[in-house]
Structure 1
Amino acid sequence: MALDVQRWRGTATEEPDPTRRVASRRLLASLLRPHKLSIVALVALLLVQNLAGMAGPYLVKLGIDRGIGHPPVLVLVTALFAAATAAEFATRRAFLAMSGRVGNAVLLDLRVRVYRHLQKLSIGFHERFTSGRVIARLTSDVDNISELVDGALDDLVLAALSVLSVAGILLWLDLPLALVTLASFPFLVWLSRWFQRASARAYRRTRETIALVIIHFVESLGGIRAVQAFRRERRNDEIFGAVNDDYRRASLQAQRLVATYSPAIKIVGNVSIAVVLTYGGWRVLHGHTEVGVLAAFLLYLRRFYEPMQELSQFYNTLQSATAALEKLAAVLDEPLAVPEPRSPVHLPAPRGELAFDSVAFAYDAGRTVLPSLDLFVPAGQTIALVGATGAGKSTLAKLVARFYDPTAGSVALDGVDLRSLAEGDLRRAIVMVTQENYLFSGTVASNIAFGRPGATRAEVEAAAAAIGADAFIRALPDGYDTDVRKRGGRLSAGQRQLVAFARAFLADPAVLILDEATSSLDIPSERLVQQALRTILASRTALVIAHRLSTVEIADRVLVLSGGRIVEDGPPSALITGGGHYAALHEQWRDSLL
């Protein structure tokens, strides 16, 4: 149990990567590029807002030094103060409205890019990149960027403008007082640098740990049947408790840094104000400066130190958004293992002829599955692939479906290399049905129509009838309009398999691949499917992978694979009497039925 917990904790480590920073900046630039004019307008609004805000204390100075005893001047200063306040309000409102539109447009573009790219990435990527991490990218990471866009960014920029503006105005108003104020700068710089370094590590740790919480949560509930079947709730509770506690401790450490930094800035600010008030009062008494200047100085100091105190929260949000952008950029930079062709070849009417020419394939450098394979499948022929687990049957099927590209050699459809075939033509020509038989939330009819979205209701029902699913579908509470619920949970395993068959048959591909597709069917259902297959597969090329050799009997030709090589090839009737591998497998299968 401890080892499981430690393994989960070990997956949290993510070191900063300079290449990721470059990629994230490139991504940010591409997201902002369509909004250049709006960004220029936003900068202008921020500058006007800052200028209006900076005018207030200076107008107070004029009111005190020039307006007292001069009513017309005081009225004018009051009017100008009101105008500055109104301008600050108007520009702030306009900025928030425009930045909201730009920010949401950027987030929409980002979500669309990530989602589209994830759909294009190969099966291999999704097999090694857990669903929990994918969800974390599209939820917590996008939320972190959204938090920055929704208000923190303009507050951060405005705070920086205020600090710079105030520093310049103080130097202009009274140089001696300004120099006294700027004496606190070394402390502020030291505090800020310390907080930047320490919080960067702390906030990165919080992001890593919350990602583990999300991943474990998603994977535990996604596999809840296995968890409950094996009574592993306690184990999962312990792992979740460990990663959740890691997140708590990481968040606590980040909060401790804020609890140190913010009060320290406040202390420095209050000491500076006390010193300015004392020294400024002395200068006023001795006629070296005016009362209005001192009042303006104190008002400006508030505008100087308040943003510095809030910088900790701004920096937290900025760090979270920066790290999230780096992760999303890494996903978008993930290369396509099966890229679309630069000059696609169109195949409007495929016949279904398949050719493997010296095909080799390895999932990684140390695990070769197909060393060298030559195979020709004429159009319209049904091929059964049999062999022990790991013999290469499913790999061969995935190469035909172009879930992967061969390491060497080529796979061709009607003489066209699959790597050159237009994506749309490839997906219409080749359809694969797996034992997973995944169904989407929605009606039975919509799940069947997934194979051909433009199909009519009559075509959907005809496809279901062809594979023997029509009877059980009509017996459902709402027939074809029955909601199958999440992942088809309302249907039995065999019913889900039949719906998946109907979906594939409606797509009417030139090549149909059945990868262990009858594994979930009971004997009566399997017989119905086999009867339908004899009719439907007669006009198309088919690759059938099955451990149930009853399914193999419908094939025109059987290929027996061992170690990624074809060791037997021929009609099933001939191989049964040949005394070879297939004959032995057939005998074992018959014995298992007794």
Structure 2
Amino acid sequence: MSTVTGTSGEDRSDYTREESRQIRRRSLRLLGSLVTPLKMQLVLAGIVLVISTVLRVAGPALVGWGIANALPAVQKEADWMPTIVVVIIFLISAIGGAALIGWYAVVVARLTQAVMLDLRKRIFLHTQKLSLEFHESYTSGRIISRQTSDLDTIRELLDGGLNELVSGLLYGGFTLVALILLDWQSGLVLAAMGVPLFFLMRWFYLRSQVVYRESRVVSAKVIVKFVETMTGVRAVKAFRKEPANDREFGGLASDYRDINMRSIRLFGTFEPAMMALASFALAAVLLWGGLRVVSGALELGFLLSAVLYVRNFFAPMQEVAFFLNSYQSATAALEKVSGVLEESPTVPDPAKPVDLREASGHLSFDDVTFGYSETKIILPDFRLDIPAGQTIALVGTTGAGKSTLAKLVARFYDPTKGAVTLDGVDLRELHPKDLRRAIVMVTQEAYLFSGTVADNIALGKPDATMDEIRAAARAVGADGFIQKLPDGYDTDVNKRGGRVSAGQRQLISFARAFLADPAVLILDEATASLDIPSERQIQEALGTLLADRTAIIIAHRLSTVAIADRVLVMEHGRIIEDDTPDALIAGTGKFAQLHRAWRESLV
């Protein structure tokens, strides 16, 4: 049964524990697949970071050794050589560490950009491959959120947050080891302070995990509301929805502010607590070390080194906290992105496709059952045979199953049971290229892409010459208005065809379909946007252009039905009448009633 779920890409914050584990595993698989091709660069970054960290950690020990040994040599023996050596080594380590950190930043930046390029392309390519079912259930605003704000959040994690975590943990670990080697008693004091530090970090992690997941949910809702409002701005203005939209968007924006305030309060608690722990550790080391300096058990220079190491240990812990900030937000974003990438097409390409280079256009529905959900069956046990070259018109009330039938022919959906065949080949086994070349569908929404009029007409045949493009436009009666555009066929239609009217967009889409020269042409309410003169032009063109191809015409305007060889009247997913237009008009059935009502409406 074909169902619309959208669960893996759903924006939710109420996951069960098992769902959360599955989502984390899914996200880690995605992250692993992104970084696996970059192993050598990762190794290089790791080596550079380790060496730079060792050089940076050596500083306090050199300072302590200089004070404890080099300065006494100057005071007692006027020997400056130890001091000079210490200063030179200190400068080398400082400059070397800084240079390596700079190199590390460049390597990490390259890694980040490589990962982001891969991920951005994956999302775009994958969402294109997903079936129409996914796009009809997954709002455009959420898709845009995955490609924009979510990717930016992941980039921030890789570019800055991950760097802060790795360098912070390495620097903190090396600092602790250096302190233990220098003065194990001060090292034990610092290690003891690690216990409350661990619980503080864990508390912050768990609380921020909830906050940032909720933040991503609310952020996505804000983006969705904004995109849908701007996309449907004509309807918004037509129905005076501005005040209601203002209230709804204001509420979402307030929710987003409140979530961000919760995050700020978390940091407002965490950072002072971190500073307090650092102060206690520093005071303890200074007190205990001072007592030992007085007793002669510890050199003053090494006490200074211990103090510097304690201070340096807590400084990167702030960086780790900043990483947790980025990590929570990026984890939530990665969950959403991995959810989209885990979606599988409900209309998959065949494993062993059958080639059909030249299709004649013979269509057949063999015991087809289809529903958009398990409880909503649209076509029950449907049978239909359409000989090659025949033009049929589908007529019926809204919801009768006409558009569903057309979507099955175009293979936007697959039947739950039975098969739809073209020239005896199941559409599910047909090579995708042959399928798209053989069957073209023109819908009521004549979408034009950014570019020229000629580019849009040539969409189905990119290698078409200008003569072929003009011939297709003339065939559907579009050449006249195109010539009057500012730049003719080179006119940029802008977003959603801003330079042409709805009827003109439809004529361009007709020219696009006719240039593609399919064996089967589906017109799903394709003349709904045309005025009467334009519709007559299309009907005249259709009479010639559909002569040698199979055509399925879905129209509420019965004037469009006149050119059909057969008229099928549908009701509740079944064909209740099937005959020529004249025969049905002469009868007493449903089509005759619809035709009489239509003629009376014209009068």
Distance in 2 (CA, whole Å) between partners of 1:220 and 1:299 is 56
User: Residue in 1 aligned with 2:307?
Assistant: 298
Contact 1:353–1:413 (CA<8 Å) still a contact in 2? yes
- Comparing 405-414 and 437-446, the one that deviates more: 437-446
Q: CA deviation at 1:588?
A: 1.4
> Which of 18, 21, 39 pairs up with 1:18?
21
Distance in 2 (CA, whole Å) between partners of 1:238 and 1:312 is 36
> Which of 296, 309, 326 pairs up with 1:287?
296
Distance in 2 (CA, whole Å) between partners of 1:563 and 1:534 is 30
Distance in 2 (CA, whole Å) between partners of 1:424 and 1:100 is 39
User: Residue in 1 aligned with 2:419?
Assistant: 410
Contact 2:521–2:551 (CA<8 Å) still a contact in 1? yes
Q: What does 1:323-342 align with in structure 2 at a 5 Å threshold? A: 323-342=332-351
Contact 2:169–2:320 (CA<8 Å) still a contact in 1? no
User: Residue in 2 aligned with 1:45?
Assistant: 48
Q: What does 1:130-279 align with in structure 2 at a 5 Å threshold? A: 130-279=139-288
- Comparing 34-43 and 171-180, the one that deviates more: 171-180
User: Residue in 2 aligned with 1:386?
Assistant: 395
Q: Secondary structure in 1 aligned to 2:449?
A: coil
User: Residue in 2 aligned with 1:32?
Assistant: 35
Q: CA deviation at 1:287?
A: 0.9
Q: Secondary structure in 1 aligned to 2:123?
A: helix
- Comparing 445-454 and 525-534, the one that deviates more: 445-454
Q: Secondary structure in 1 aligned to 2:49?
A: helix
Q: What TM-score do the two structures reach when normalised by structure 1?
A: 0.97
Q: Secondary structure in 2 aligned to 1:348?
A: coil
Q: CA deviation at 1:186?
A: 2.3
Q: CA deviation at 1:421?
A: 0.8
Q: Secondary structure in 1 aligned to 2:460?
A: coil
Q: CA deviation at 1:310?
A: 3.0
Q: Which amino acid aligns with 1:15?
A: Y
Distance in 2 (CA, whole Å) between partners of 1:427 and 1:298 is 72
The one-character-per-residue Cα deviations of 1:110-134 (angstroms, maximum 9, x if unpaired) are 1111111111111111111111101
Distance in 2 (CA, whole Å) between partners of 1:183 and 1:108 is 44
Q: Which amino acid aligns with 1:515?
A: D
Structure 1 residue ranges without an equivalent (≥5) = 1-9
Contact 2:49–2:101 (CA<8 Å) still a contact in 1? yes
> Which of 463, 466, 485 pairs up with 1:454?
463
Q: What does 1:506-585 align with in structure 2 at a 5 Å threshold? A: 506-585=515-594
> Which of 327, 337, 354 pairs up with 2:363?
354
Q: Secondary structure in 2 aligned to 1:579?
A: coil
Aligned Cα RMSD in Å?
1.3
User: Residue in 1 aligned with 2:5?
Assistant: none
Contact 1:433–1:514 (CA<8 Å) still a contact in 2? yes
Contact 2:153–2:333 (CA<8 Å) still a contact in 1? yes
Q: CA deviation at 1:151?
A: 2.0
Q: Which amino acid aligns with 1:554?
A: I
Distance in 1 (CA, whole Å) between partners of 2:449 and 2:157 is 34
Contact 1:266–1:309 (CA<8 Å) still a contact in 2? no
Q: Which amino acid aligns with 1:359?
A: V
Distance in 1 (CA, whole Å) between partners of 2:553 and 2:377 is 23
The one-character-per-residue Cα deviations of 1:358-393 (angstroms, maximum 9, x if unpaired) are 011000011000001111111111111111111100
Q: Secondary structure in 2 aligned to 1:234?
A: helix
Contact 2:378–2:573 (CA<8 Å) still a contact in 1? yes
Q: Which amino acid aligns with 2:413?
A: Y
Contact 1:363–1:369 (CA<8 Å) still a contact in 2? yes
Q: Which amino acid aligns with 2:424?
A: G
User: Residue in 2 aligned with 1:308?
Assistant: 317
The one-character-per-residue Cα deviations of 1:469-520 (angstroms, maximum 9, x if unpaired) are 0001101111111122210122111111101101111111111000000001
The one-character-per-residue Cα deviations of 1:422-444 (angstroms, maximum 9, x if unpaired) are 11111111110000111112221
Aligned: 1:398 with 2:407:
yes
Structure 2 residue ranges without an equivalent (≥5) = 1-9
Contact 1:559–1:570 (CA<8 Å) still a contact in 2? yes
Contact 2:212–2:332 (CA<8 Å) still a contact in 1? no
Q: What TM-score do the two structures reach when normalised by structure 2?
A: 0.95
Contact 1:352–1:540 (CA<8 Å) still a contact in 2? yes
Distance in 2 (CA, whole Å) between partners of 1:46 and 1:523 is 73
User: Residue in 2 aligned with 1:91?
Assistant: 100
User: Residue in 1 aligned with 2:117?
Assistant: 108
Distance in 2 (CA, whole Å) between partners of 1:175 and 1:55 is 16
> Which of 330, 355, 365 pairs up with 1:321?
330
Q: Which amino acid aligns with 1:54?
A: V
Q: CA deviation at 1:169?
A: 1.8
Aligned: 1:65 with 2:62:
no
The one-character-per-residue Cα deviations of 1:212-257 (angstroms, maximum 9, x if unpaired) are 1111110111111111101110000000000000000000010010
Q: Secondary structure in 1 aligned to 2:547?
A: helix
Distance in 2 (CA, whole Å) between partners of 1:157 and 1:307 is 10
Aligned: 1:372 with 2:381:
yes
Aligned: 1:493 with 2:502:
yes
User: Residue in 2 aligned with 1:7?
Assistant: none
Q: Percent identity?
A: 53
The one-character-per-residue Cα deviations of 1:36-90 (angstroms, maximum 9, x if unpaired) are 1111111111111111111111111221122112421111111111111222122
User: Residue in 1 aligned with 2:6?
Assistant: none
Contact 1:262–1:310 (CA<8 Å) still a contact in 2? no
Contact 1:549–1:586 (CA<8 Å) still a contact in 2? yes
Given the superposition, is the C-alpha separation of residues 106 and 332 from structure 1 closer, same or farther in structure 2, using an over 3 Å criterion? same
Distance in 2 (CA, whole Å) between partners of 1:14 and 1:403 is 32
Q: Which amino acid aligns with 1:400?
A: V
Distance in 2 (CA, whole Å) between partners of 1:49 and 1:429 is 62
> Which of 52, 57, 75 pairs up with 1:54?
57
Contact 1:14–1:208 (CA<8 Å) still a contact in 2? no
Q: Secondary structure in 2 aligned to 1:411?
A: strand
Q: Which amino acid aligns with 1:29?
A: G
Q: CA deviation at 1:206?
A: 1.5
Q: CA deviation at 1:445?
A: 1.2
The one-character-per-residue Cα deviations of 1:74-107 (angstroms, maximum 9, x if unpaired) are 1111111111122212221221111111211111
Distance in 2 (CA, whole Å) between partners of 1:25 and 1:312 is 21
Q: Secondary structure in 1 aligned to 2:559?
A: helix
Q: Secondary structure in 2 aligned to 1:538?
A: coil
Q: CA deviation at 1:14?
A: 4.6
Contact 2:447–2:496 (CA<8 Å) still a contact in 1? yes
Q: CA deviation at 1:181?
A: 2.5
Q: Secondary structure in 1 aligned to 2:442?
A: strand
Distance in 2 (CA, whole Å) between partners of 1:186 and 1:111 is 41
Distance in 2 (CA, whole Å) between partners of 1:448 and 1:510 is 18
Q: CA deviation at 1:202?
A: 1.3
